Amino acid sequence: MLFERVSYLKGLAEGLEIEKNSKEGKLLKEIISVLEDIVYELDDIQENVDEIDEFVEALSDDVADIEESLEDYDDEFDSFECPDCGEEILIAEEEFDDNGCAEIVCPGCGNEFVVCDEDECDSCCCCGCDDDEDDDMEEIDEVESE
């Protein structure tokens, strides 16, 4: 649209029959030339913006796909903390046995311990989940007796 408007101004200037070598003629010719350059630059900028928009849209789609993959990936693992060093350890669901327990070795400190998937653990006592409840009950009994 701008290109057409500048072309129209150029036509009007030519229709005025201003002497091209006069001061006014040189000024008018230069103003129209600058306007044409501006229109071409704006057109190039718009093309670049359109390309960037397409690129950003593609990136946004890629990020959404990655987020979805990570959510699926996150659902396949349970997070546990090493009791010795506190490092977070991810355990794949298939690492748990039929009792809902898994023997793991901490990659940080080498500590070996058993964890249970609280949703799956059947209180087999191999992970000490019953012991934790007994300890908690003893602490409650001690507080109540004081």
Interval 24-34: pLDDT, tens: 889 999 999 99
% of the chain surpassing 90 pLDDT: 33
More confident residue, 122 or 17: 17
What pLDDT sits at residue 42? 96
Which band of pLDDT confidence, cut at 50, 70 and 90, is reported for residue 60? very high
Short-list 106, 102, 109, 93, CA closest to 127: 102
Amino acid at 104: I
More confident residue, 54 or 82: 54
Which band of pLDDT confidence, cut at 50, 70 and 90, is reported for residue 116? confident
SS3 87: coil
Which band of pLDDT confidence, cut at 50, 70 and 90, is reported for residue 142? very low
